[in-house]
Amino acid sequence: MTTIDPPGGHGRPAVPSAATRALERCVSVEPAKFAAAHWGRAPLLSRAAELPNPDGFTDLLSPADADELLSRRGLRTPFLRVARDGQLVPAARFTGGGGAGAEIGDQVLDERVLELYAGGATLVLQGLHRLWPALIDFARDLGTALTQPLQVNAYLTPPGNQGFATHYDTHDVFVLQVDGRKHWRIHPPVLIDPLEKQPWGGRADEVSATADGPAALDVVLEPGDALYLPRGWLHSAQAQETSSLHLTVGIRALTRYALVEELLALAAEDPRLRAGLPFGTDVADPDVIEPELTETVEALRDWLLRADPAAVAARLRGRSWPAARPAPIRPLAQAAALTALTADSRIAPRPGLRWQLTPTADARVALRLVDRTVTLPDQCGPALHALLGSTGLRVGDLPGLDDDADRLVLARRLLREAVAVPV
């Protein structure tokens, strides 16, 4: 079977201009140069004057917006963390009941947040790519440009304070300075390209010793500045004479080790690798284990040479696709569009939707989504391909179907499945 791809290939449409603009907001070099010289390799400092948006990043989240989230949006844990003196404050210190009609015990209490923040604590608003409209759109566009799932956190630090000691992250980040000034000290990695299972706490002594040495980058970020850091680079940041607000965009990229993990999971299909060790084997004796290890490595090498890329890709799809949600839809407006649909209506693929279109053995076509597969008659294939590879089509122009009645049936199904949206 073959998979039908749109112009962008591999189940993704061509990168839209909004995605390119999102990346250009974060880097002061051409995207191709960023990919070649910095992505996963070296930090990049981009000053506000070198970036395209003269207003900086306040359109994404301003200090007033942060106050709105902390006070009027019913915020719950874990969407807020609080750090003081390099340690996380227990959530019970700043959460409690929501009052009548919201009988839950983990709502953020604004008066307790005030007490902690005024006392020098850093507030970390987490998961803003799921909470705040401007950041939902920005994260989707930037994630499309990078072809990676993202998370967005905001850090609010009182004057002169530092939320966390020197550490490294196990994912790449963009730091976008929104308000105030913050002094950053960047040091080279103590472990190049750390995996999520290799956090900095396991190398605390190396981190501390490296942080005492000369910095690779010692800089104060001003409003509108941006900083890219590959995973593993050590960093610490301290607010200056006023409070600081910055956004951290974490990029959850897959690694080659993820390929190894999926290959090993698939290796369970090989009978030689499932075989038990001989009776009475002393697994603590290297001399006894050596011949078993040699035979196992040989069996694994033989299996790897026959590994099916399609099977590996299917497992990686199950790991990566759920990490990035498509654009939000408006259920009430979508339902209304279903009833009002005509051949002159225009529909478009849901932005950020991950999908694959594959013919089946029974003359049908399977539209594979993150959480389900929609199966349709084979004659719907050209219309699906045309729509999903476009920025929008008139329902009456969907190709490959006999008449407008069939086109309306397909369009309604795609709207109901949240594959398409009205435009």
pLDDT at 15: 54
pLDDT at 102: 85
Task: Name every residue whose Cβ is closer than 8 Å to that of residue 297 and which is 6 or more positions away in sequence.
Answer: none
DSSP string, 326-341: -----HHHHHHHHHH-
- Per DSSP (E only), the strands in 143-267 are 150-157, 172-179, 182-187, 217-221, 226-229, 234-239, 244-251
Cβ 303 vs Cβ 331: under 8 Å: no
Strand partners, 375: 366
Nearest-5° angle of CA 222, CA 223, CA 227? 65
Please report, in tens digits, the pLDDT of each residue of the chain (423 residues total): 334 443 344 444 445 688 999 999 999 999 999 999 999 999 999 999 999 988 899 999 999 999 999 999 999 999 999 999 889 999 999 999 988 988 889 999 999 999 999 999 999 999 999 999 999 999 999 999 999 999 999 999 999 999 889 999 999 999 999 999 999 999 999 999 999 999 998 999 999 999 999 999 999 999 999 999 999 999 999 999 999 999 999 999 899 999 999 999 999 999 999 999 999 999 999 999 999 999 999 999 999 999 999 999 999 999 999 999 999 999 999 999 999 999 999 999 999 999 999 999 888 999 999 999 999 999 999 999 999 999 999 999 999 999 999 999 999 999 999 999 999
Residue 342 C-alpha from the chain's centroid: 37
Structure tokens at 283: 């697994």
Largest CA distance in the chain: 76
Helix (H, G, I), strand (E, B) or coil at 95: strand
Nearest-5° angle of CA 342, CA 343, CA 348? 90
Cis check for the bond before 78: say yes or no (omega within 30 of 0).
yes
Spatial distance between the Cα atoms of 309 and 412, rounded to a whole number of angstroms: 35
pLDDT at 132: 97
Strand partners, 217: 186
**How many helices (H) and strands (E) in the chain?**
13, 19
pLDDT at 361: 87
